[in-house]
Structure 1
Amino acid sequence: MPEIHRVAILDDYQQAAHRYADWSALPDGARLTVFTEHLGGPAEVVAALRPFDVVVAMRERTAFPAEVLDALPNLRLLVTTGQSNAAIDLDAAARGGIVVSGTRAAGLTPTAELTWGLIHALARSIPAEDSGLRGGAWQQTVGRDLHGARLGVIGLGNVGSRVAQVGLAFGMDVVAWSAHLDVQHAQALGVAPVGKRELLATSDVVTLHLQLSPRTAGLIGPDELALMRPDALLVNTSRARLVDEPALRAALEAGRLGGAALDVHWTEPLPAASAWRDVPRTVLTPHLGYVSAGTYETFYRDALDDVLAHAAGTPIRVITR
């Protein structure tokens, strides 16, 4: 059976790993190191992780391309939270004899709930009003009504469907589009299927719920932003690369878009000098969509089970291409 010497848990920003799993269950002699800060680029990742034979990664916060995996000769098990991870080169892992294990998928409800938090934050200027009130101001903005407004949902999968149902409960006119939209599913929810151009041109709020792929990367670019109403709101809790960030920033700075709420960013963690920190009419959150107690409990407990199964010589939830 494989011996485990050193285990690393990465990107535990909230120092949550020990709260949601009992890591004292690791085999005798195994040393655990928890990294609470992002390691950085490939060189920094390799320098930090070279001694470890087991690494537990949180989603796609740290990338493991071939150049990194090839430079970690001691690594034998790479655990990713979730059932897939686009930031791991599975072919390179296989070549290096590295087992990649996943966990059960997180609940989809937290992302849908955050989406609605962001929509309300934009529509009622909650962050600005909170900040203003703390500084002595009173009622600086006039909120927007959601009842009767049009919600455009791009991607009507599990998360998008939940978001759409809440929109309907608020009395919104909900429409949806995706390249392979299930029209019958949309109609069963009470959602009207429309074309992409119509959705963008007529929606008061546009929210994105698609997987990132070569086909969806840059889905919302300059042309799409130009179609949107100048008072429209854009919300992205899915994947940052669905949106052309420079084009979105330009539209906001020029006043061609009503506002944007972003939980995902091209560079994460968001750099201290990021231009986004000063863009008007925005609500920014640090990729919180899946960050909830229930999700972390599933992720960290399953990750520990993966490590223990590997130590017993019976790897579980192995991810292959």
Structure 2
Amino acid sequence: MRITQVAVTPPMLADYPESFAPLRERGIAVRINDGQYPMDAQSLARFVGTAEAAIIGLDEISAILFEMCPALRVVARNGVGMDNVDLAAASARGILVTTPLGANSTSVAELAIGLTITLARHVIPTHNRVQRGEWRRTQGMQLSGKTLGIVGLGRIGKKVAVRAQAFGMRVIANDIAPDAMFAAQHNIEMTGFGRVLEESDVVSLHVPLTDLTVHLIDRAALARMKPGALLINTARGPVIDSAALAEAITTGQLAGAALDVHTVEGRIDAVLAGLENVITTTHLGAYTRESLIATTEMAVDSILQILDGAAPIGLMNPACWPPRA
């Protein structure tokens, strides 16, 4: 396979030119987007243009891109999660799609723990009151001795579990493909989804967005949660039914929620706006210097591996390997 150009859509990656040095050393031109991000389908296709490879972040990777960019042979995600990728359309055209498995797990896990502490101790509303000149303390919840329920004990969920145990939390978890060895080694009880909801003081979501997980946390699931529990979502916004969550918060069924992801990327759901005990952040999970460098370097490595004739690590459509001539 011949690659002469790589188009890079996340503008912030311009801060890490050293990550692209291996490509440039091979004479490959690297173009980094300095405008809108994420881009709509038409803008993305215009930016990618005649590039044979693209490193893409949050942009929607659809059939439109493949149709408008016939030279494109490789799409390297610089983040995990494939919900923004039409993998079937890519595979139909023989386009290789890679993802940097595990490269951002630590950063996301740290944010999940940070949000848990922030929510449990009412840090943000207390800060806001102090800024208004009010000096009033709010009784919080100690994490030690409490139960953390993890939905999705994958790469990120495992790191959350270990960090929560360092605080003295009991950890239970649910996963469709449980890693029994890891669970046994770390004293994590694998159990049913319903029991995780019913027994946990804090529920932390770490599942991919699929047809099975859209509104996994719906009105019925929220009703099963322990009264006064906390809900943390650093996975994908549509995993939670926002209207049902707003109702559970306002009625007091839940004591609070912390959301790093939202139904639509770039804006908070209107039903959650203004709720004091709902923390919202701007999809910061993987947004650390360390994570950005790691995911970018893995994306670059995958392109180099393909150039060298090796199946890349993190190839999401292995049936397309080896690539078409």
Number of equivalenced pairs: 316
Identity of aligned residues (%): 29
Residues 154-183 of structure 1: per-residue CA shift (max 9 Å, x gap): 233333233223333322333223344455
Name the SS of the counterpart of 2:195 in structure 1.
helix
In structure 2, stretches of 5+ residues that fail to align are: 319-325
Equivalent positions of 1:211-250 (< 5 A) are: 211-250=208-247
Q: One-letter code of the match for 1:295?
A: S
Residues 180-224 of structure 1: per-residue CA shift (max 9 Å, x gap): 445564344223344333332232111122233333332211101
1:147 Cα deviation from its structure 2 partner: 2.1
Give the structure 1 partner of residue 290 of structure 2.
Answer: 294
Give the structure 1 partner of residue 323 of structure 2.
Answer: none
Which 10-residue stretch deviates more, 111-120 or 29-38? 29-38
Distance in 2 (alpha carbons) for counterparts of 1:144 and 1:268: 31
- 1:166 paired to 2:163: yes
- 1:18 paired to 2:14: no
Residues 26-64 of structure 1: per-residue CA shift (max 9 Å, x gap): 655836232453244323433444454432112xx1121
Q: One-letter code of the match for 1:133?
A: V
1:286 Cα deviation from its structure 2 partner: 1.8
Distance in 1 (alpha carbons) for counterparts of 2:30 and 2:293: 22
Distance in 1 (alpha carbons) for counterparts of 2:154 and 2:27: 44
CA contact (8 A) 1:187 1:193 kept: no
From 270, 278, 282, the counterpart of 1:282? 278
1:232 Cα deviation from its structure 2 partner: 0.9
- Relative to structure 1, is the Cα distance of residues 168 and 98 closer, same or farther in structure 2, using a 3 angstrom cutoff? closer
From 119, 123, 132, the counterpart of 1:122? 119
Distance in 1 (alpha carbons) for counterparts of 2:13 and 2:54: 18
- Relative to structure 1, is the Cα distance of residues 26 and 156 closer, same or farther in structure 2, using a 3 angstrom cutoff? same
Name the SS of the counterpart of 2:253 in structure 1.
coil
Equivalent positions of 1:1-321 (< 5 A) are: 2=2, 4-5=4-5, 7-13=6-12, 15-18=14-17, 20-22=19-21, 25=24, 28=27, 30=29, 32-35=31-34, 37-58=36-57, 61-81=58-78, 85-103=82-100, 105-182=102-179, 185-270=182-267, 274-307=270-303, 314=309, 317=312, 318-321=315-318
Q: One-letter code of the match for 1:76?
A: R
- Relative to structure 1, is the Cα distance of residues 84 and 184 closer, same or farther in structure 2, using a 3 angstrom cutoff? closer
Which 10-residue stretch deviates more, 156-165 or 280-289? 156-165
Distance in 1 (alpha carbons) for counterparts of 2:220 and 2:151: 16
Which 10-residue stretch deviates more, 221-230 or 159-168? 159-168
Q: One-letter code of the match for 1:2?
A: R
Q: One-letter code of the match for 2:147?
A: R
Which 10-residue stretch deviates more, 241-250 or 13-22? 13-22
In structure 1, stretches of 5+ residues that fail to align are: none
Distance in 2 (alpha carbons) for counterparts of 1:50 and 1:33: 13
